[in-house]
C-alpha cells in the first residue's frame, strides 16, 4: 500500500511541476501582452514599440504544449 501511495504521490508531483511551468508561461505572456498593449495604445497599427517585438519573440518561441494547455 505504501509503495502505491509513493508512486501516486510522485506522479502528482510531476504533474504539478509541469502545470506550474505552464501557468508561469501563461502569466509571462499576459504580462508582456499588457505591456505591449499599453505601449502601443491598444495595438494601433500606427504605433511601434519594442514591447511588441518582445511579445512576438516569446510567442514565436513558445512550445506547442503551452498552447494546448
Is residue 68 pLDDT above 70, yes or no? no
d(CA 61, CA 59): 6
Q: Tell me if 5 is assigned to some domain.
A: no
Residue 7 lies in a domain: no
Structure confidence at residue 69 as a pLDDT band (50, 70, 90): low
- pLDDT (0 to 100) of residue 24: 83
Q: Count of domains in the chain?
A: 1
Query: Is 61 a member of any domain?
Result: yes
Residue 35 lies in a domain: yes
Question: Under a CB-based contact definition with an 8 Å cutoff, are residues 68 and 18 in contact?
Answer: no
Is this structure's pTM higher than 0.75? no
Q: What is the mean pLDDT of the chain?
A: 80
Domain of residue 48 covers: 25-69
Query: Per residue in 8-31, pLDDT tens?
Result: 777 777 777 767 777 788 888 899
**Cell numbers for 9:** 504521490
Amino acid at each position: 500500500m505504501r509503495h502505491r501511495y509513493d508512486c501516486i504521490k510522485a506522479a502528482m508531483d510531476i504533474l504539478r511541476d509541469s502545470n506550474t511551468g505552464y501557468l508561469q508561461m501563461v502569466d509571462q505572456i499576459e504580462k508582456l501582452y499588457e505591456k505591449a498593449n499599453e505601449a502601443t495604445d491598444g495595438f494601433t497599427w500606427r504605433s511601434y514599440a519594442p514591447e511588441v517585438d518582445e511579445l512576438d519573440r516569446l510567442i514565436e518561441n513558445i512550445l506547442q504544449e503551452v498552447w494546448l494547455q
